[in-house]
Amino acid sequence: MPYSNFASMPCTLSRPAALLGERWTLLLLRQIFLGTRRFEDFQATMDISRSVLTDRLNVLLQENVLKRVPYHEDGRTRHEYRLTEKGRDLYPVLMALRTWGEKWMAPEEEESFHLHHRDCGGGVRAKVECTECAAELTARDVQVTAKQ
Amino acid sequence: MPYSNFASMPCTLSRPAALLGERWTLLLLRQIFLGTRRFEDFQATMDISRSVLTDRLNVLLQENVLKRVPYHEDGRTRHEYRLTEKGRDLYPVLMALRTWGEKWMAPEEEESFHLHHRDCGGGVRAKVECTECAAELTARDVQVTAKQ
DNA sequence: TAGCTGAGTTCGAAAATCGAACGCAAGGGA
DNA sequence: TCCCTTGCGTTCGATTTTCGAACTCAGCTA
């Protein structure tokens, strides 16, 4: 099974993992959540090669994670890349990465940006919880049952 | 800036994203959380090339996400790959991917495994919350502040 | 002694990525 | 009209990664 076959496996974890597990894709999403929307800006801030950038954007468009939205500048119509609802729903994935990074990869308090809740100013943290009792869960609290 | 430089950027999101954003790494972690621990088993279940598997395992060992643990079988000592505490803490990342996959990528109810809370039998869901008021947050509820 | 097994290593072919140049359409200015 | 600029790609040859199959090696077992 080549890598690409995971993208069509009947598993709701392996398909997203294969999609976001391609080189550059997670970093591209980070940039998008930070507000970057235009081809030139992705290219400049990430220094990704233009052909790969084109490819990754197209994959995300095809998956309906991004959409192309027209806008006007200098009287000209151009397009920018924006998150769809499906794309915005990836926020917990990025926040889970960041929560992990804060705990395990921050040598000091260094960060290139701060995040806080608009309403109360609090911090932001990803977690896993039980849909019934709302307890916070770790891997040890969860039972895995194979489907066959 | 080549891809590898993101691994040393002063950003607690880009470093994890660069690490887990390498091809095969997320799928490898999925397999580990599902219980796979041995080289041959990774190779057989994922059909990854042996040289890339060696490389990815070594990167995760170096990052202290995995550790090699000796075990005995047929009177011989071998080693298996197991999660460290740092590795176990990646659970929310995988669960966030799965939560997203369940919502947006499941054509039917199909899943290759079920997860439930050992204590109460409930389902499992990743979410983002405020560290102060405990409200559940979406991207829109969060303010990003650049550090300079 | 020979064979088996788990865990890699090696190596030539194929695929992905890189970087630099090129293409192109829509203005703007002369 | 002609030329220049901008944003957004496309193309292409060189470099890196990945692939897959064969090979190695250590520690048993027969």
Q: For the segment A50-79, what is each residue's pLDDT rounded down to a tens digit?
A: 999 999 999 999 999 999 999 887 778 889
Percent above pLDDT 90 for chain A: 82
B61 to chain A, closest Cα gap in Å:
14
More confident residue, B147 or A2: A2
Proximity of residue B18 CB to strand D below 7 A: no
Nearest C-alpha in B relative to A46: B1
Q: What is the mean pLDDT of residues A29-34?
A: 97
Residues B97, A16: contact at Cβ < 8 Å?
yes
Residues A93, B100: contact at Cβ < 8 Å?
yes
What was the pLDDT predicted at A148? 45
For an interface test with B, the pick among A120, A128, A136, A143 (most B C-beta atoms closer than 10 Å) comes out as: A128
Angle between helix B50-62 and helix B39-46 axes, rounded to 10 deg: 120
What was the pLDDT predicted at A144? 95
What was the pLDDT predicted at B72? 82
What was the pLDDT predicted at A112? 77
Percent above pLDDT 70 for chain A: 95
Q: For every one of its 148 residues, what pLDDT tens digit does chain B have, with 9 covering 90 and above?
A: 689 889 889 999 999 999 999 999 999 999 999 999 999 999 999 999 999 999 999 999 999 999 999 988 777 888 999 999 999 999 999 999 999 999 999 877 667 799 999 999 999 999 999 999 999 999 999 999 987 4
Look up residue B115 and give its DSSP letter. E
pLDDT tier at A143 (50, 70, 90 boundaries)?
Answer: very high
Q: Annotate A64-79 with three-state secondary structure.
A: CCEEEEEEEECCEEEE
Nearest CB among B120, B132, B147 relative to A121 is that of: B132
What was the pLDDT predicted at B148? 45
Residues B95, B125: contact at Cβ < 8 Å?
yes
SS3 category, B12: coil
Q: Give the predicted TM-score (pTM) of the model.
A: 0.95
Residues B126, A100: contact at Cβ < 8 Å?
no
**A144 touching B (Cβ < 8 Å):** yes
Nearest CB among B9, B97, B133 relative to A13 is that of: B97
Task: Give the count of beta carbons closer than 10 Å to the beta carbon of residue B47.
Answer: 12
Letter for the amino acid at A86? Answer: K
